[in-house]
Amino acid sequence: MKLGAFFVTALLLMSGSTFADKLPNIVILATGGTIAGSATSHTQTTGYKPGAIGVQNLINAVPEVNKVAHVTGEQVANIGSENMTSDVILKLSKRVNELLSQKDVDGVVITHGTDTLDETPYFLNLTVKSDKPVVFTAAMRPATAISADGPMNLLEAVTVASNEQSKGRGVLVVLNDKIGAARFMTKTNANSLDTFKAPEEGYLGTIIDGHIEYNNRVEKKHTTDSIFDVRQLNELPPVVIIYGYQDDPEYIYDAAIAHHVKGIIYAGTGAGSVSVRSDAGIKKAEKAGIVVVRSSRTGGGSVPVDSAQPGLVSGTLNPAKARILLMTALTKTNDPVQIQQFFNQY
Ligand code: SIN
């Protein structure tokens, strides 16, 4: 051994340093979902109990993560994501902000149910004040199923969160070897493993054999560019979604007004077209000081601003994501003109 190499090796041995010490520190926050789901048989893939397995068991099932990062786990919730509430996503955002402000945390992975994985990652995309990686993952098959997808998704999410290139890209969603942006990823099929897509915008990158390849960046504002700060808040303004369809009744708007909601997302037909009944309901809601956003129930495309109704906000977000942005926007203002700008920017 050359003298220089000898001294470096000796120094490393004396300081107790090993290769493992160079690994990033990643915290896994578990919230439940199918990735933590348990069924009564190895073939059952519907009707099982989501959120049955704790975070340490999820980590123990994938010892390969320890080659990628120093991993620690915390249980934030253990629920099916249909039971996620504004309170839980607010708590999650605050915890992620706390963790990422620590020097000894390099990234966060969040395990979550797929059913509302449109929503929570987008909320964190708007409210996390760090460029360190925040990566959501999930599974379509419960942990007990033959060929469960959760373990590989978890490993890939930790790999993505550990990678320097993942910094500053906004909150990411990793499933099925694909890396997507929280702003665009949406569940497109109730059963298929390959359900998370960004149909118009595409994925940001892929991960194959642990190798990450990024192809795109998101132009919309997020994380460190976002003006939204929920760290001192204890609740989010209530916003409901009203679906447009043949015979949609006006009385749904009366119920929303009576429940003192602060915002309504109208999931309109086509490019957000409004029936005469919904039009009457929307006008009543606006008179009551409620901000109304027109979105499209088609899940894609753009809803144009209606120049005849400048108080009516619109944009390109699907109804579930529009609700997240409107709740967040209402923490700053209830001026529809400013909220329209947020819908253009975020
Ligand atoms: C859930 O969203 O919690 C259940 C369904 C899933 O995770 O796939």
Atom of ligand 1 nearest to the CA of 34: 7
Q: Which residues line ligand 1 (CB under 6 A)?
A: 32-34, 50, 80-82, 113-115, 138, 140
- Whether 19-225 and 239-345 share one fold: the answer is yes
The residues pairing with 269 across neighbouring beta strands, listed in sequence order, are 273
Alpha helices, DSSP H only, in the chain? Answer: 3-14, 55-60, 65-68, 86-100, 120-127, 150-161, 251-258, 276-287, 319-329, 336-345
Q: What is the pLDDT of residue 310?
A: 79
Q: Give the per-residue pLDDT at 69.
A: 98
Whole-angstrom Cα distance, residue 65 to residue 138?
A: 16
CA distance 210 to 138: 18
For residues 328 and 242, what is the distance between their CA atoms, to the nearest angstrom?
18
pTM: 0.94
Query: Which one of 34, 58, 89 would you pick to mutate in the ligand 1 pocket, going by the greatest count of ligand atoms within 8 A of its CB?
Result: 34
d(CA 43, CA 214): 35
Nearest to 261 by CA among 288, 281, 243: 288
Dmax of the chain from CA atoms? 85
CB-count exposure of residue 11 (10 Å: 0-12, 13-18, 19+):
exposed
Alpha-carbon distance 286 to 133, whole Å? 39
- Distance, CA of 81 to CA of 101 (rounded, Å): 27
Q: What is the pLDDT of residue 2?
A: 54
Altogether, the residues listed in the chain come to a count of 346
Alpha carbon distances (Å) from 323 to 265, 291, 320, 330: 6, 11, 5, 11
* DSSP assignment letter at 224: G
pLDDT in tens, the chain (346 residues): 455 555 545 544 554 445 556 999 999 999 999 999 999 899 988 888 888 999 999 999 999 999 999 999 999 999 999 999 999 999 999 999 999 999 999 999 999 999 999 999 999 999 999 999 999 999 999 999 999 999 999 999 999 999 999 999 999 999 999 999 999 999 999 999 999 999 999 999 999 999 999 999 999 999 999 999 999 999 999 999 999 999 999 999 999 999 999 999 999 999 999 999 999 999 999 999 999 999 999 999 999 998 888 789 999 999 999 999 999 999 999 999 999 999 999 9
Q: 19-225: what fold?
A: Rossmann fold (3.40.50)
User: Could you confirm whether 114 is annotated as catalytic?
Assistant: yes
Q: Where are the domains of the chain?
A: 19-225, 239-345
Ligand 1 nearest atom to the CA of residue 51, by list position: 3
Q: Distances in Å between the alpha carbon of 271 and those of 264, 266, 287, 295?
A: 17, 11, 24, 7
Q: Please give the Cα distance from 126 to 10 (Å, whole number).
A: 47
CB 32 within 8 A of CB 51: yes
Other beta carbons within 10 angstroms of residue 49's beta carbon come to 16
Å from CA of 263 to ligand 1 middle: 27
Q: Is the Cβ–Cβ distance between 70 and 25 less than 8 Å?
A: yes
Q: From the CA of 116, how far away is ligand 1's center (Å)?
A: 8
Ligand 1 atom at minimum distance from 116 CA: 2
With a CB cutoff of 8 Å and minimum separation 6, the contacts of 248 are: 242, 275, 277, 278
- pLDDT value of residue 6: 52
Rounded Cα gap, residues 143 and 139, in angstroms? 8
Choosing from 31, 45, 111, 114, the catalytic residue is: 114
Q: Give SS3 for 232.
A: coil
pLDDT at residue 309, rounded to an integer: 84
Q: Provide the pLDDT for residue 16.
A: 46
Architecture of domain 239-345: 3-Layer(aba) Sandwich (3.40)
Taking the centre of ligand 1 as the mean of its atom positions, its distance from the CA of residue 80, in whole angstroms, is 6
